[in-house]
């Protein structure tokens, strides 16, 4: 998917419909000149509803939509006729969509399942007609309820990619290359930083016809949790991943330090990310021999399992898949 077609953030003004007013009406026909009240109720205003769709991968279809209004309910009528309800507005969204209040940042709802349906804003209730207010002391009530107003507010829709494994690393760590090797995804690959500007998903085939989803997240840099570089715009995608695959090239100046910086960025952004299963992949390992690999193992972090891989030569790729599968099924 091209960069301009991947949209993971939109801001929209939603307004649910107002309820219709109850009717003030009295029975009048050839047999009854002055009958009792028969005013019907107003119809409910239309809801604003979000529904999950697993065929959508982006919020692109909402990019140029700034206002979404649901119709109002109709007023009640005579002969106890209830006004028609306003039609509900259903918005299809990709799985992993979260909705937040623009002013407070409060999480309003999230959609994670196909065809999962949630009401964002309910339509206003219809008002009661004057028939509801008749009594032994007031047989001709000349009033009815107005309909309730719908709710109107600006909200933010954010997409957090749903994937089993998320790739975490600095720019040019080999994340896109790995994704292109283990799946049918075709991410842009080049020898310069920030080649990947949007998350890419790939389905990785495993043994006996099994599979899992791998997400290539754009490269993180030190200070990303403060919004530096591409910052928090992409860190949020990592929140939905079950396993985090840290990727550090073997030619890094200090592998342990680079891993610590990546881990700290996740911790500063959301400490709960550290509770996820983690694996460290040392990329570009075709550049070194087995003796050097043995020496490097002594200098690696001790709190995370590791594997040496090369997307070019295929070194360690199957072992990587096996280790990820074990972590996913723990």
How confident is the model at residue 195, as a pLDDT?
45
With a cut of 50, list the residues of the chain below it in pLDDT.
1-2, 187-196, 224-231
Q: Which residues pair with 101 in a beta bridge?
A: 155
How confident is the model at residue 198, as a pLDDT?
65
Handedness of CA 327, 206, 53, 67 (dihedral sign): positive
- Measure the CA–CA gap between 118 and 278, rounded to whole angstroms: 33
| 143 shares its domain with 244 | no
| 224 shares its domain with 122 | no
How confident is the model at residue 227, as a pLDDT?
47
pTM strictly above 0.85: no
| Residues 318, 320, 326: CA angle, nearest 5 degrees | 105
Domain that holds residue 105: 1-159
How confident is the model at residue 203, as a pLDDT?
87
Q: What are phi and psi of 303, to 5 degrees?
A: -95, 15
Tens of pLDDT, residues 233-246: 667 778 888 999 99
**Which of 117, 135, 159 is where one domain is finished?**
159
- Measure the CA–CA gap between 173 and 119, rounded to whole angstroms: 42
- Assign residue 124 the CATH number of its domain: 2.70.210.12
- Measure the CA–CA gap between 66 and 83, rounded to whole angstroms: 29
| 6 shares its domain with 74 | yes
**Which of 138, 159, 180 is where one domain is finished?**
159
**Which of 97, 130, 159 is where one domain is finished?**
159
| 268 shares its domain with 204 | yes
| 145 shares its domain with 172 | no
Label each residue of the chain as H, E or C: CCHHHCCCEEEEEEECCCCCCCCCCECCCCCCCCCCECCCCCCCCCCEEEEECCCCCCCHHHCCCCEEECCCCCCCECCCECCCCCCCEEEEECCCEEEEECCCCCEEEEECCCCCEEEEECCCCCCCCHHHHCCCCCCCCCCCCCCCCCCEEEEEEEECCCCCEEEECCCCCCHHHHHHHHCCCCCCCCCCCCCCCCCEEEEEECHHHCEEEEEECCCCCCCHHHCCCCHHHHHHHHCCCCEEEEEEECCCCCHHHHHHHHHHHHHHHCHHHHHCEEEEEEECHHHCCHHHHHHHHCCCCCCCCEEECCCCCCCCHHHHHHHHHHHHCC
**For the chain, how many structural domains are there in total?**
2
| 218 shares its domain with 298 | yes
| 182 shares its domain with 312 | yes
| 209 shares its domain with 151 | no
How confident is the model at residue 197, as a pLDDT?
52
| 151 shares its domain with 174 | no
């Amino acid at each position: 998917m091209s960069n301009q077609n991947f949209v993971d953030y939109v801001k929209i003004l939603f307004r649910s419909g107002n309820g219709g007013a109850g009717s003030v009406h009295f029975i009048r026909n050839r047999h009854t000149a002055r009958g009792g009240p028969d005013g019907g109720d107003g119809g409910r205003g239309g809801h604003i509803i979000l529904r999950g769709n697993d065929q959508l991968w982006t919020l692109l279809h909402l990019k140029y939509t700034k206002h979404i209004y649901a119709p109002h309910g109709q007023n009640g009528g005579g002969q106890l006729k209830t006004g028609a309800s306003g039609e509900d507005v259903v918005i299809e969204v990709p799985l992993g969509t979260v909705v937040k209040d623009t002013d407070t940042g409060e999480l309003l709802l999230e959609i994670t399942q196909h065809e999962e349906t949630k009401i964002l804003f309910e339509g206003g209730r219809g008002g009661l007609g004057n028939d509801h207010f008749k009594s032994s002391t007031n047989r001709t009530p000349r009033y009815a309820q107005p309909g309730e107003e719908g709710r109107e507010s600006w909200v933010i829709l954010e997409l957090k990619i749903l994937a089993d494994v998320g790739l975490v690393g600095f720019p040019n760590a080999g994340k896109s290359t790995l994704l292109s090797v283990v799946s049918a995804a075709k991410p842009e690959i080049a020898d310069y930083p920030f080649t990947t500007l949007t998350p890419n998903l790939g389905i990785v085939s495993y043994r006996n016809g099994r599979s899992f989803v791998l997400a290539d997240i754009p490269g993180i840099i030190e200070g990303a949790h403060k919004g530096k570089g591409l910052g928090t715009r992409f860190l949020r995608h990592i929140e939905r991943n079950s396993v985090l695959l840290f990727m550090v090239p073997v030619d890094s100046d200090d592998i342990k330090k680079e891993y610590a910086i990546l881990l700290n960025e996740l911790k500063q952004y959301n400490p709960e990310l550290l509770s996820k299963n983690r694996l460290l992949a040392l990329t570009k390992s075709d550049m070194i021999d087995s003796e050097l690999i043995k020496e490097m193992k002594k200098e690696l972090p001790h709190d995370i399992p590791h594997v040496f891989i090369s997307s070019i030569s295929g070194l360690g790729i199957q072992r990587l898949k096996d280790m990820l599968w074990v972590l996913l099924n723990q």
